[in-house]
């Protein structure tokens, strides 16, 4: 008998074909978003669940899962949607899909930087609405990226690739992480022990830290005040690392020139309404990993973890 895998969202064809080949897969062809009750019901008799970040595995949901479920193999690098402490208490293995989305997320980060700096949202809207009337030296003047200082909070896989891409724009790289990295990984990047030490050196600030209690609202009013006037903030990690009210206030006051965001608190439908009202925010709908190549690689990574689990081996990407 093949293990039964509950797949919560529509996955790339290549991933679903491998699932159907190797497992008894319960797919979601309509790409419906399951409620907690429906998730628990559909998991009846399943050996594992392959979810995305859209499914919330709270302690209450985990306690209700059928005892047959052995693992939650996430189709995401982030796993803040899973209560890992509760999962451990119930003997569940939890995995994620790191590494394979670093390039795609770094590309998106560069797009956020350029889009925010060069007022892409405003410009595109002018063209689409036929409001673009003429050209003048003062028309749509933005901020140049080339040669500026880029601060990165979270110098892991994605942060390192962002630094590599940014060097193509002759940017000076500064970073903060839990500890200084070897010089060959830094590649000239300048280490700062705390965010407070880093922030005064950031013409651009890119957030690439994980969402954990220690990083909740990491970018708050006090830390924004430490940024140079006119700085630009981009976030392609998780919405929870930003204090929305503080960021919006800084964008309104002119303390910050602009922001580029791909992730939000309470996404997708209940993000802070202030963001939609601001012309100096470049908004994307959480698509950091949304390339064909990356989504297939993420699916295969999740399946590699499941293959290991059902072969009695330790999965490569275990987080609980």
> What is the set of active-site residues?
238, 267, 286
* Cα–Cα distance for residue pair 64/60, rounded to 1 Å: 7
* Cα–Cα distance for residue pair 246/286, rounded to 1 Å: 21
Q: In Å, what is the CA distance from 78 to each residue of 30, 44, 169, 226, 292?
A: 24, 25, 28, 28, 19
Residue 214 φ then ψ, to 5°: -70, -20
The full length of the chain comes to 320
- Residue 95 is encoded by which pair of tokens? 């995995």
Q: Measure CA of the first residue to CA of the last residue in the chain; give whole Å.
A: 26
**DSSP structure string for 169-192:** TTPEEEEE-SSPPPHHHHTTPEEE
**DSSP structure string for 233-275:** EEE-S-GGGB-HHHHHHHHHHTSEEEEEES--TTTTTTS-HHH
Tell me which residue of 308, 304, 317, 306 sits closest to 71, measured CA to CA: 306
Task: Please name the residues in contact with 277: beta carbons below 8 A apart, sequence gap of 6 or more.
Answer: none
């Amino acid at each position: 008998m093949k293990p039964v895998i509950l797949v919560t969202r529509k996955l790339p064809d290549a991933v679903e074909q491998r699932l159907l080949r190797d497992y008894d897969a319960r797919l979601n062809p309509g790409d419906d978003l399951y409620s907690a009750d429906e998730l628990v019901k559909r998991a009846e008799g399943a050996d594992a669940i392959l979810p995305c970040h859209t499914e919330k595995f709270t302690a209450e949901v985990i306690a209700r899962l059928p005892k047959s479920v052995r693992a939650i193999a996430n189709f995401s690098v982030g796993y803040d949607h899973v209560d890992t402490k509760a999962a451990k208490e119930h003997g569940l293995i939890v995995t994620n899909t790191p590494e394979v989305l670093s390039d795609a997320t770094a590309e998106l980060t560069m797009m956020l930087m350029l889009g925010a700096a060069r007022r892409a949202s405003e410009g595109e809207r002018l063209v689409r609405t036929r409001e673009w009337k003429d050209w003048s030296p003062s028309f749509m003047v933005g901020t140049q990226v080339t040669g500026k200082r880029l601060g990165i909070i979270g110098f892991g896989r994605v942060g390192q690739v962002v630094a590599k891409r940014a060097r193509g724009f002759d940017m000076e790289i500064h970073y903060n992480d839990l500890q200084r990295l070897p010089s060959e990984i830094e590649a000239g990047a300048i280490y700062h022990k705390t965010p407070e030490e880093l922030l005064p050196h950031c013409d651009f600030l890119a957030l690439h830290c994980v969402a954990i209690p220690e990083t909740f609202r990491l970018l708050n009013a006090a830390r924004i005040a430490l940024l140079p006037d006119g700085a630009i903030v981009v976030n392609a990690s998780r919405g929870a690392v930003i204090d929305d009210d503080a960021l919006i206030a800084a964008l309104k006051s002119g303390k910050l020139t602009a922001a580029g965001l791909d992730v939000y608190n309470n996404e997708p439908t209940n993000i802070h309404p202030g963001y939609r009202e601001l012309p100096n925010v470049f908004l994307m709908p959480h698509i950091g990993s949304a390339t064909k190549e990356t989504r297939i690689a993420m699916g295969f990574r999740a399946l590699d973890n499941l293959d290991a689990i059902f072969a009695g081996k330790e999965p490569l990407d275990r987080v609980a």
